[in-house]
Amino acid sequence: MDIESKMINKYVCIYYKYIFIAKMIVNIDLYVRERLFNEDDIQDNTINGHTETIMNTIYNYMHDNKITRDGILTTISEGLINFKNQVGGAITEVKLKDEKKYYYNIEKIVSKNSNKYNICFINIRENNNNCLCFKYSSKKSILTLTDLNANDDCVVCQDKSHKYKVGDILMQIFLQYVKDVKHITEIQLQDNSMKKCYGIGIRLKYLRTITHGEPYYAKYGFRPQTKLDYKTYKYNKELYKKGVHINSSIIKDIFKLSKELKKSVYKVYKKYIEASLSKANDIDPAILLKRLIELENMKKPFELSNEEKSSICELVSFTVKNIYLACGYKDYEINLWTLQLK
């Protein structure tokens, strides 16, 4: 084969290579556009228990790249207030039952035919991290809460001296917002709620059952959707009311498992916790876990470094499920929760 023929073959190969890549891009684009507002994703993603859903990933990608071709990125304009370093969205003011005024940042993607909505509360300053996301269709009565990450900058109170829990305020605003969507009669969610503790996530489904007798979302009226999980909910609540204590040797064995996690975590257990466990035969796990999480607020002799505080949070995160089961609490099979609005 002469040089000219080789060159022609080379350019033909390059041409078909780019044709193939172009077709792949088109296919991916069509797939995203087809799936972006597929109502079937609502239940599938929820039941699978993804902490960050496919819909939410696509939402973030669209926002970052200002893609609005088949989903129109809009903001709510009423009550718009400007904040220093605000990025995206529109700040909205709301007054809650505590008579305090709060500000939140909200964005939504509306499908081209305006039948489907993906809405996110986002951070007021610094970045566009999602605080709470949900989606619904104008043709269905069920709304799905897909994501909840209550960071400090998700909600701002007008009264700067007022102390409040961001997660609680965010849920109150969300429920008040949903009530204005008249055709929605039910909210669904998968309980993957986390308590943030020095950057470590602690599963509230386990922690809050130990400390309060029920998971986080139950305080807002959510109940398990299936009969089996509802029985588990009732059983756990009754067990909590009776008062749960665990033998200290069992707690020690659970905490010792942290040695497999990190040396620093196990070191914190040995330094601050092991000796106190030896002083009692029976331990109230609710009091124990509360005190561990609150160690960061303690003064002398418990002045911990940030690394030690983070290690304690890791210890709780690593052991909370085993403590939950050792208490005799039952775990949820489906873990799908609903709130009936009407």
Residue 4 inside a domain? The answer is: no
Residue 2 inside a domain? The answer is: no
Residue 25 inside a domain? The answer is: no
Q: Which of 141, 162, 184 is the last residue of a domain?
A: 184
CA angle 114, 115, 116 (to 5 degrees): 100
In terms of residue numbers, what domain contains 195? Answer: 190-342
Please state, rounded to an integer, the average pLDDT across all residues of the chain. 77
| pLDDT tens profile 60-88 | 555 554 444 344 444 443 333 343 433 44
Q: Which of 135, 154, 184 is the last residue of a domain?
A: 184
The total number of residues shown for the chain amounts to: 342
The count of domains in the chain is 2
Is residue 129's pLDDT more than 60?
yes
pLDDT at 9: 57
C-alpha 248/C-alpha 298 separation (Å) is 23
Residue 34 inside a domain? The answer is: no
Q: Are residues 173 and 195 in the same domain?
A: no
Assigned token pair, 342: 């009407």
HSE, CB side, 13 Å, CA atoms: give it for residue 57: 9
Q: Are residues 322 and 208 in the same domain?
A: yes
Residue 110 inside a domain? The answer is: yes
Q: Are residues 64 and 115 in the same domain?
A: yes
Residue 14 inside a domain? The answer is: no
Q: Are residues 74 and 150 in the same domain?
A: yes
**Bridge partners, 199 (sequence order):** none
| pLDDT tens profile 157-206 | 999 999 999 889 999 999 999 988 989 999 999 998 888 888 888 999 99
pLDDT at 224: 97
Residue 13 inside a domain? The answer is: no
Q: Are residues 196 and 175 in the same domain?
A: no
C-alpha 332/C-alpha 47 separation (Å) is 12
Q: Are residues 166 and 311 in the same domain?
A: no
pLDDT at 57: 52
Q: Are residues 163 and 134 in the same domain?
A: yes
Where b means 16+ CB within 10 Å and e means fewer, 235-244 reads ebeebbeeeb
Q: Which of 123, 153, 184 is the last residue of a domain?
A: 184
Q: Are residues 166 and 223 in the same domain?
A: no
CA dihedral over 57, 58, 63, 65, signed as positive or negative:
positive
Q: Are residues 205 and 338 in the same domain?
A: yes
Q: Are residues 169 and 81 in the same domain?
A: yes
pLDDT at 244: 94
Cα distance from N-terminal residue to C-terminal residue, the chain = 79
| pLDDT tens profile 35-52 | 433 333 333 333 333 444
Strand (E) positions, the chain?
A: 71-75, 90-95, 101-111, 116-122, 130-137, 142-148, 155-157, 186-190, 194-197, 200-203, 223-224, 246-247, 282-283, 336-340
pLDDT band at 93 (very low <50, low <70, confident <90, very high): confident
If you compute the radius of gyration of the chain from its CA atoms, what whole number of angstroms results?
A: 25
pLDDT at 79: 39
